Structure 1
Amino acid sequence: MQTPHKTRWYQSLTLRVLALFWFLLLGAAAAAFYTAYHYTQPTQPEPLAEDFERTLQPVFESALGAGLLQPGRLLVGEYRVLARYEHTALEPTFAPALHPDYRGYISDLLDQPEALQVPVGDKMLAGPFTVDNALLVVARPLTEQEISELIAQHERDWFPRVVWLSVAFSGVGALILGVWFVRPLRRLRNATREIAEGKAYPNLARLPNRRDELGELARTLAATAVELATSRDAQRRLLSDVSHELRSPLARSQIALDLLGDETETLRSSPHYRQIEKDIFRLGTIIDSILWLSRLENGLDEPIREEVKPMELFEEMKGDIGYAQADWQERLRLEGSDLPTLQTDPVLLRLVLENLIRNGFQYGPEQGIVTLTAKQVQSAGKACLKMDIRDQGPGVEPSKLEQLFEPFFRADPSRHHGAGVGLGLALCQRATRVLGGELEAQNHPEGGLIASLTVPLA
């Protein structure tokens, strides 16, 4: 069975869903934290600016008494008294119609040991100023420079905190949502792989009990697994029955034909007799190929791995091919030296190589050469043996190269009717997958078709 493609980390659905949830929560959390911080963070008092002392000191010195400096009175320019506190009073006196937000800041300023200033809204509050036995808090409008500095300070103060808090809280929330959303998908993925391995009852845990779309998908997947297993078992029984029902009449026909030939010697020399004998043999070969192909596709044949010396296998195969076709042995060229030992199934490997070599002779010219070249290569980080089988035929149209390994496909059905029905290369492809290798075909630049078989050394 082909090894499942492993999803790379940057292609993971888990990562994508996690990132999506994270970004959404990050934006919402950032907006919430910004709003909360901006409207709830109190402004801290700062040292008194020179303009307050320079402007108010002459006013305080020229005043006849603190009793004239009442809350709400405009002192000079835009400087106005907002609050007044006398030691004999229980609470400070505020300017008429003063907004409640200012009173808390004024109370904080009155508790300070020295005069400070604090921006509140569009005003700069300053105090406490001592005049006689009274404490005064004075305000003026904020200048444009102070407004700009205040905005910049707010950005410096709240932005890093909002970012880190947003990242932390949204990260935890995204992780929980991502795991909750992706976990059933991973369970479905693993169950699908189990079904591909032939299991009738994949491990779906409690997914079929869910009432949402994922639960419906899990129930459908479970039913499909049972149906596939039932169909696979029926197909295996059919293969066994077909093997018996087709081979038995063919065997009897072959025996009957041999007995008929023994009774009448002149019959063996008849072209009709030879044609029947040839057709019976060809039909048996086709049936064996179809059954073998089905067994490979259904995983009924597993490779039996053992040590194989490539050159010895090639020489043995060359001798067997020459036994059936003497001239093929002379026209088969073997190239390769110092080849490593393989750990593979020699029967499947030989099946593939023999089919490829026979195709080379059948589709090549009358006295064409077929060359088998072998060498060690690296493929997908593993040591492999690559075997190229090249013929001297006309090659295949580029548009049909990808179809060569499909069952019953023939690149040129009008030629070489004795070459088969198009199952040889399909068998080779399936057998190569069982061996864990790769098989591909391409036209050689100098002419002919070259089939490349690559199998791992171990």
Structure 2
Amino acid sequence: MAVMTFAEKSIFFRIYAGLLLVCISVAFFAYLLVDTINQERAQSYRETVATGAFYLIAQGAAYQQNDAQKNYWLNDISSLFGSNFEIISMYDIEFKAREMRRIEEGKTVVRYDPSSNQSTFYHRLEGSDDLLTVKLAQVGERQVRAMTIFLLDDLSRYQGFQKKQARLNFLSEKFSYPIYLQSIQNLKLDPEQIARLKRDELVMFFQDGIRGQGSTISFVVASDVEDLVIVVGPVALFNWFPLKLLGSVVLICVLLIALGIYALILPLERRLQLLQIGVDRVAQGNLDTKVQVVGRDDIARLSMTFNAMTAHIKRLIESQRELTRAVSHELRTPVARIRFAVDMLADTDEADSRQLQKEYIDEDIESLNELIDEILTYAKLEEGSPKLDWEMVNLRELLEQIERETNALGKPIVLICQLPSAKTTAMADRRYLHRVVQNLVGNALRYANSTIKLTAGVQKGMAFISVEDDGQGIAEKDREKVFIPFARLDDSRTRASGGYGLGLSIVSRIAFWFNANLTVDESPNYHGARFIMQWPAKQVGVVVAADDITQGSVEKVIHQTGN
């Protein structure tokens, strides 16, 4: 299972394994191809070499006058070859179409049996429907010597050099290699070889080709003409691996490997092309573009990141538009109040009235500063991944700090802090975590009747912050709206309590960058609103990826529980 998962995710492993499989398959195919071609070549070589020899033997049978002479003749050639020659009817053997054509053309048919390593030869006797047949396990010096005997016997029926040479030229076509008369002085023979020729023995010459290619063998036997010998050959030895065959097979293998590599790369190339098309569409301004995600490898993750990036850009643009409209609306109120106060300053000469208007102006300017700070904070969290200074934050110390800061405001609201143990810590950015708790408590202060409860801790590897109050709570249908920038559920109540509708939006964005779950529901003890933020007590990395998976998880929880 782990190997399959790794194979799905690793492009290198898939390509490497695929390439290895292609090479093994091509190597196996090359072996079968070479073996098949060599079997055909070997069969053709056997039949080509055997045709001339069996033609001579069949000519000897044609000279026999009756069956008794043929039987005597068969015994002689069987003794010479060391194998039993027979004459049978050609209709006793079932030949293939190719074999029948060779029989009719006067050529030899050879059937090789790899299990017994024997070859069966069939040659039609001229002018009859009989076949000369024999089984041979191998062709050695004895068989070559027998062939030369038949050659000398056939040549003895032709008198004179010209006739003998003409006969040899005719036989060369049957044998498919040259046979000719040559002066013994023209051959580079040593004294021992000359002596063997004089004793009517066979002399063989072996010529090795370049690097085993084109090796040949020649036979020399004495003739009945003085100072002339019969030279048979050179006969090309069968080469199992000729350069042409190897070159052709290598070329085919390279082509097959190239096709295999192309088949491996083509799906990746198509997926990259789809990704490029998506990039081009986004560059043209189409932010609704989605790239199909196939598999679980790096390209799939890149496609997911691209989709998340386009969705994030689209959301940022829409958020900026909404923020711009909301900011313009929120700025009008304090600006209008400042303008009214300035007009009042111009219309009154009383010192107390002028001082009062100045204080109103100062309050409105301070309100504008607070609004600008909130907008900048929200925009910073919204525009991209902020720089988070991760550290182990002591939750007890954080709650004690929030308690002191809240009590210093002098609000007639009781803050109950359920403090965790002194050793309870969670990984977070302290500054942003402080902002989360501060905003949640500040929001509760505006709507609570008398009591707020603040709780923090770590359970099953998840840290949490809980803030609940005894206010009116938030209707379930309105819970989606509290995290929207500048959203107000009740305009009159919001003006009375203060705020701009950015505090919970900032909490939502910090929760996103903390990879946290942010929920809002009804407090079971105080029946007001309860906000809970949960995040991993130990973050996997120092940066939380801005992708659609984490964003979707936060938005899904908010949507299900209500804001």
What TM-score bracket applies, with the shorter chain setting the length?
0.3 to 0.5
> What TM-score do you get using the length of structure 1 for normalisation?
0.47
Structure number with higher relative contact order (C-alpha < 8 Å, ≥ 6 residues apart): 1
Q: Rg bigger for which structure?
A: 2
Under a length normalisation based on structure 2, what TM-score does the superposition of the two structures give?
0.40
